[in-house]
Amino acid sequence: MATYKLTVPISEEEIRKLTVGDQVLLNGVIVTGRDAAHKFLMENFIHGDPSKASAEDRKVYERIKELLKDGVLYHCGPIVGKKEDGSYYFVAAGPTTSIREEPYEAEVIEHFGLRGIIGKGGMGAKTLEAMKKFGAVYFHAVGGAASLIANSVKEVLEVHKLDLGVPEAFWVIRVEDFPVVVTMDSHGNSMHTFVEEESKKKLEALLG
């Protein structure tokens, strides 16, 4: 286990160096995205016909594609405030449960060239396989520390698809020393699988 300081965009080479248990301080520009954001990308662009999307939605897609290449997607539904000048800031930015995105994430990793997913609780076998194949990791953020994490969000740069709702929109943020731990790596290791297997063994032992 080691400690790394990484700046987005992150190369595949840097990601392949990481293993489960490594602590990372993330810097640079990342994007938030939850259920509705994933559904928007999947239905309109990854599986859908982009030519049928509105001009505005195509513009959003192109921008998100640019940001997620060698980038990081944060499973987060932030609480957001608005300043007098019209700019936004994060009041709280805690992670949401990632397994809800399991049906989508492997294809999102492949399509966009993602290097990192931030969330809580880990993800499943399909996502783990995509991480191994394409070079990505899962970063576990500290649950229950939403306000603390918000301190690492130094600036809200952009927001896209506010019509999905504030928690579901794509928030483009600049972070400094955002603390995370690698719990799924690009070598097929998952701390969450280990915990699940150990829990199952203990349950079976208790049941005789």
Average pLDDT in the 111-133 region?
96
Closest CA relative to residue 114, chosen from 73, 74, 77: 73
Does the bond joining 9 to the residue before it have cis omega, within 30 degrees of 0?
yes
> Of residues 196 and 114, which shows the higher confidence score?
114
Residue 126 pLDDT greater than 50, yes or no: yes
Q: Which of 38, 75, 160, 192 is catalytic?
A: 38
Q: For residues 203 and 54, give the distance between their C-alpha atoms in angstroms, rounded to a whole number.
A: 51
Q: Domains of the chain by range and CATH? A: 3-207 (3.20.130.10)
- Alpha helices, H only, 1-122: 12-17, 35-41, 55-68, 102-112
> Of residues 77 and 148, which shows the higher confidence score?
77
- Residues β-bridged to residue 7: 27
Residue the block writes with tokens 């506010």: 162
Instruction: Tell me the pairing of strands 153-160 and 170-184.
Output: antiparallel
Tens of pLDDT, residues 181-205: 999 999 999 988 654 554 445 445 5
- CA torsion 126-117-88-41 (nearest 10°) is -30
Residue 145 pLDDT greater than 70, yes or no: no
Residue 58 pLDDT greater than 70, yes or no: yes
Confidence category of residue 143, pLDDT binned at 50, 70, 90: low
Chain mean pLDDT for the chain: 91
> Of residues 81 and 202, which shows the higher confidence score?
81
Backbone angles phi, psi at 68, to 5 degrees: -85, -15
111 as an active site residue: the answer is no
> Of residues 178 and 147, which shows the higher confidence score?
178
For residue 177, give the 3-state DSSP assignment. Answer: strand
